[in-house]
Amino acid sequence: MIEGIFVEGLIYGIMVLGVFISFRVLDFPDLTVDGSFPLGAALMAQCILMGVNLWLALLIAFAGGVLAGTVTALIHNHLKVPNLLAGILTMTMLYSINIRVLGNRANVPLLNQETVLTKVTDRLTGIVPDDYILLVFFAVVTIVIKVLLDLFFRTDLGMTIGAMGNNEQMVISQGVNPKTLKTIGLGLSNGMVALSGAFAAQYLGFADVGLGQGIIISGLASVMIGEFLIMKSNRISVLTLCAVLGSICFYAVMYVGRYYGYVVKMTPNDLNLIKGILIIVLLVLTQSKKLKKTAVRAVVKND
């Protein structure tokens, strides 16, 4: 049972890495995530029902997310819509699209269907203890994605995207169109979110149009927990590791809340309130941390 705590954190960790790209690297608060996560789940579910090759299905889910991110970027870039509103627009439109993808239904169960997870379980049975198969699989998947992301952000293109989030004028001065970089960044971010949704649907055994509700808050909370727990660094590999660890911590807390919350008379419906309060507490803590630092610096300077 205990491995379930970590599995969720790892599956959603892929989504958290996506949120990390938009919020932290691009400095673009992208709410498309709430729509692209269930989009990935819906595309995966429909592909499974249609008998599409499972690896191709994962690719289709990823591509769907890339498309969603691109739409947000296009709305923001070409219609001069503020970034928050552009994300909300795409997210709202995706709600209808997701229901369409699911075949005009709000929920599609995947029980007794062959999924990537059943295939992996078949393959690994006997090699890895049954209880830990999914844990091992998702640990490998998430780490591979994290490493690929690290490599991407060490390339010339990746570094330029990182510089844009910090200083857009610098990128313009280098003769690069920031609109192109934003499109690439948001596409990548939402592609990963959709991929995470595709895995989540298989893990949960269903795809639901409401899967994405509040996912952006969970993602942001995870990113912040990761940043809070681990020291600051400018190395992308450390930052992505923070995001994944933050996700594992966050979903472990949520898991405990869901299964053992009844002890303090908490129901699963209270979790969204808890998430919000958690973010506020983290904000307060990071700010007081910063204030302390500046206070120390001021004292040192005065000496």
Q: How far is the CB of 161 from another protein (least distance, A)?
A: 9
**79 lies in the binding site for another protein (CB under 8 A):** no
Measure the CA–CA gap between 161 and 182, rounded to whole angstroms.
8
Measure the CA–CA gap between 30 and 37, rounded to whole angstroms.
13
Which of 104, 169, 269, 294 binds another protein (CB under 8 A)? It is 169
CA dihedral 256, 257, 259, 262 (to 10 degrees): 130
Which of 79, 140, 172, 256 binds another protein (CB under 8 A)? It is 172
Q: How far is the CB of 140 from another protein (least distance, A)?
A: 24
Residue 107 or 177: the one with the smaller Cβ distance to another protein is: 177
Pick the piece of the chain touching another protein (CB under 8 A) from 80-88, 95-103, 168-176, 281-289: 168-176
**234 lies in the binding site for another protein (CB under 8 A):** yes
Question: 254-261 contacts: CB < 8 A, separation 24 or more?
Answer: 254/8, 254/218, 255/4, 255/5, 255/8, 256/5
Residue 92 or 167: the one with the smaller Cβ distance to another protein is: 167
**166 lies in the binding site for another protein (CB under 8 A):** yes
Which of 173, 269, 294, 302 binds another protein (CB under 8 A)? It is 173
**175 lies in the binding site for another protein (CB under 8 A):** yes
CA-nearest of 23, 11, 18 to 66 is 18
Identity of the amino acid at 119: K
Residues between 106 and 165 that touch another protein (CB under 8 A): 152, 154-160, 162-163
Give the count of beta carbons closer than 10 Å to the beta carbon of residue 258.
16
**294 lies in the binding site for another protein (CB under 8 A):** no
Measure the CA–CA gap between 199 and 243, rounded to whole angstroms.
18
Q: How far is the CB of 25 from another protein (least distance, A)?
A: 10
Both tokens of 172, joined, read: 């313009």
Residues in contact with another protein, counted by CB under 8 A, come to a total of 24
Q: How far is the CB of 173 from another protein (least distance, A)?
A: 5
Per DSSP, what are the bridge partners of residue 206? 109
Residue 27 or 270: the one with the smaller Cβ distance to another protein is: 27
Residue 121 or 180: the one with the smaller Cβ distance to another protein is: 180
Measure the CA–CA gap between 171 and 166, rounded to whole angstroms.
10
Measure the CA–CA gap between 35 and 100, rounded to whole angstroms.
13
Measure the CA–CA gap between 207 and 209, rounded to whole angstroms.
7
Residues 260-279 as x/- pattern, contact with another protein by CB under 8 A: --------------------
Q: How far is the CB of 171 from another protein (least distance, A)?
A: 8
Q: How far is the CB of 170 from another protein (least distance, A)?
A: 6
- Cα first-last separation, the chain: 56
Non-local (6+) Cβ contacts of 80 within 8 A are none
Q: Which H or E run includes 174?
A: none
Q: Which residue has the tokens 């020291």?
A: 231
Both tokens of 95, joined, read: 């709600």
Residue 209 or 242: the one with the smaller Cβ distance to another protein is: 242
Residue 152 or 228: the one with the smaller Cβ distance to another protein is: 152
The site for another protein (CB under 8 A) is made up of 152, 154-160, 162-163, 166-167, 169-178, 180, 234
